[in-house]
Amino acid sequence: MNLHQLVSGTIQAVNPYIQLSVQISTGNTINPDGSRVPTYAPAQLVFGDIQALQYTDIIQLDGLNIQGERRKIYINGDVDGLVRSENRGGDLITLPDGAVWLVVLVLEEWADWCSVAVTLQNKV
């Protein structure tokens, strides 16, 4: 049972979902000089809800020493933070205003949706 879908109508009445562009990380390539460049799959459009971080989320991010402008995004779909052992993650989310956010931590993960902490990469 998708509980998120059951309550999404009520949530959208207060904070409407917006269309987001998600680029899923596919690993990296290595340049001739040895530097690594991340690679991404073509962008996918998903719907999400951007919110401020809760106190417990902030404490968790502080423990990881993640700094910068941060938000929490609920996404209908699945994205990943960095998973070094599997050489994946670090997905990018682009908002309608063109701002790009890096997924740094998956806070909640369910079958049809997830909640992620993101850090601003560029401000348009």
| Per-residue model confidence as pLDDT tens digits over 83-96 | 777 777 789 999 99
The answer to whether 58 touches 96, Cβ cutoff 8 Å, is no
The structure's pTM equals 0.80
Interval 40-65 mean pLDDT? 82
In the predicted model, what is the mean pLDDT of the chain? 83
Q: In whole angstroms, give the CA distance from residue 87 to residue 68.
A: 24
What average pLDDT score do residues 47-55 get?
85
Report the pLDDT averaged over residues 41-47: 93
Q: What is the CA radius of gyration of the chain?
A: 15
Mean pLDDT confidence for 50-73 = 77
DSSP-H helix ranges across 15-101: 55-63
Is residue 21 a contact partner of residue 93, using CB atoms and an 8 Å limit? yes
In the chain, what are the domains?
3-122 (2.40.10.270)
Report the distance separating Cα 21 and Cα 95, nearest Å: 7
